[in-house]
Amino acid sequence: MSAYRAPLQDMQFILHEVQGAESLFASMPGTEELGRDLMDAVLESAAKISEEVLAPVNRSGDEEGCRLEDGKVYTPKGFKEAYKEFAQGGWVGLSGDVDFGGQGMPKVLAVLFEEMVMAANSSFALYPILSAGASLALARHASEELKQEYLPKLYSGQWSGTMCLTEPHAGTDLGIIKTRALAQEDGSYKITGTKIFITGGDHDLSENIIHLVLAKLPDAPDGAKGISLFVVPRQLCDEGGQAVIDNQVSCGAIEHKMGIKGSSTCVMNFDGAQGFIVGEPNKGLQYMFTMMNYERLSIGLQGLGLANNSYQVASAYARERVQGRAATGMHNPDAVADPIIVHPDVRRMLLSVRADVEAGRALAVYAASQLDLAHFHADEVVRSRAAKLVAFLTPVAKASFSDKGFEGCVLAQQVLGGHGYVREWGLEQNVRDARIAQIYEGTNGIQALDLAGRKMVKDREGLLACLAMEIDEYVDARKDDAALSAYIEALQAALSSLQDISVWIKTAAEHKPDEVGAASVPYLRVVSLVLYTFMWARMVEAAQRGIALGEGDMQFYDAKIKTAQFFLRKKLPELQSLVAEIKGGSEVLMALDAEQF
């Protein structure tokens, strides 16, 4: 068995040697003081709290779960103490607005931090990550008065936040929500309705819980255009600023789930609760997408982190567990058998997990860097291009990280055989915890439909063209680099296939509307393979540079290049089968009558 250890060496390699974070931040106002020493100190501190505070209560939290007693939700033993230490360390407000008590750290650090906490304890991680997302929505869209009242306490962890969207009859189709808001004479609103699947809807970690609630005004337009966003605290403050007044917000039930059992998933009832509108009426869904897009990247990191956690356990097990002999002869003549790491199929499983995790981590940092450019950079042209890349990358990151993360947890479990199926090794919990990441914050099928439909077929901003330009610029600058040629050629071919199949889908959809939905999931996987190829090219380039300089860990660089070769020969060929699947068309999916299912 292995305790979780944050992959600091790989994180620092991606941050500094691949992404060039020091140069990135030196070029932007607001981030100039972020040198390598400070960034590494943040990551090292994040690793310490993840390994020493969060990981130790992960399994016990899963076994105990949350409980609802007398209308109040209680988290597992040890969570309150862990949350107190987490909040006191300033981690809730890591990337928060400095004007209201946040630390203002860029997203590239936040994604690495979030991967660590998700890997160490996904159930716990959801509480502060929801608070960070709620804070971001308020910082971007709320009035100055609401910011002053709520942001400092959210950043400090004294209060926590949620997002309340889903209703019993309305999930993805939020335009049909029934929760209503009635204006009051004092400028507030009376909120009435029921929301379900609310992560952290009630708990005992913070003094107050601030719900961001989607609701409709009486005269609102039909559909999604009539949704407004409201701040609804669990308790209102008295004249002394203490949150002690009941606000008619209650938890009706908690869900009993497959995984993330230490996270309270609640049915929340708003029975005429007092709320305060965020921004303008009927723009709530637009505002909420600020939070949802933040959470989608975070939830992708849940899959990524758990897959890395599982890989650590499985790789250690494979080096120690003896079973059978290597096909090439005995590797361990002094023992009755060789360690299972000698067997090609065990290596296939481990390398599959490793290749996806390392490419996913690099892509997370790359996407985060675009978020930072879109937010901090002084040049509007740079900000605009980065925002386009973020729009295209967000559904890919959420779906790809969580799909491949779950697959990685299952493969790692398979390496352990029967030991992977029992609780002792922790992998069965990882499989259960990782499964939800494919479902919440917009199912991965919805992410794929968003990518293929809205951001490719109906694209008016040139999102795919922007990504293609980014890759073309990278390729053009390195086309004469013989050491990198295999990766450059593979990247060019992959991008060409993506562009060709995009045209095919657009053309087919002109006459057959179902083609978009039929193609969407394999299309997202094509895009993810192109992006992973891009990331592996960048990582190989950095590793080759490190070897040429003769500085750093040569074994680390060598392993990076060998893992890249595995990806190129064993993972990337899947792209052509996905293209063939897309060209198989929609007819076979729609041929059966509904009654025939």
Q: Which residues are catalytic?
A: 441
**Cα(305)–Cα(311) distance, rounded to whole angstroms?**
10
Contact 281, 381 (CB under 8 A): no
Q: Are strands 227-233 and 235-237 parallel, antiparallel or unpaired?
A: unpaired
**Alpha-carbon torsion (448, 449, 450, 451), positive or negative:** positive
The count of other CB atoms within 10 Å of the CB of residue 395 is: 26
The secondary element (H helix, E strand) that includes residue 197 is strand 189-199
Tokens standing for 8?
């600091």
Residue 24 CB partners (closer than 8 Å, separation 6+): 31, 108, 369, 372, 373
Question: Could you tell me the end-to-end alpha-carbon distance of the chain, in angstroms, rounded to an integer?
Answer: 45
Q: What is the DSSP letter of 52?
A: I
Q: From the centroid of its chain, how far is CA 421? A: 26
**Greatest extent of the chain over all pairs of C-alpha atoms, in Å:** 85
**Cα(527)–Cα(3) distance, rounded to whole angstroms?**
34
Tokens standing for 347?
């290596």
Q: From the centroid of its chain, how far is CA 480? A: 36
Contact 300, 400 (CB under 8 A): yes
Residue 190 CB partners (closer than 8 Å, separation 6+): 181, 182, 184, 272, 273, 274, 275
Q: From the centroid of its chain, how far is CA 144? A: 29
Residue 202 CB partners (closer than 8 Å, separation 6+): 68, 72, 73, 209, 234, 250, 251, 254, 264, 266, 268
Residue 239: exposure state from Cβ atoms within 10 A (0-12, 13-18, ≥19): exposed
- Per-position DSSP letters for 486-543, written without gaps between them: HHHHHHHHHHHHHHHHHHHHHHHHTT-THHHHHHHHHHHHHHHHHHHHHHHHHHHHHH
Helices (H), 142-251: 144-156
Question: In which residue are the tokens 């929301």 written?
Answer: 195
Contact 423, 491 (CB under 8 A): no
Tokens standing for 166?
């889903």
Please report, as a single letter, which amino acid is at residue 253. Answer: A
**Cα(468)–Cα(289) distance, rounded to whole angstroms?**
25
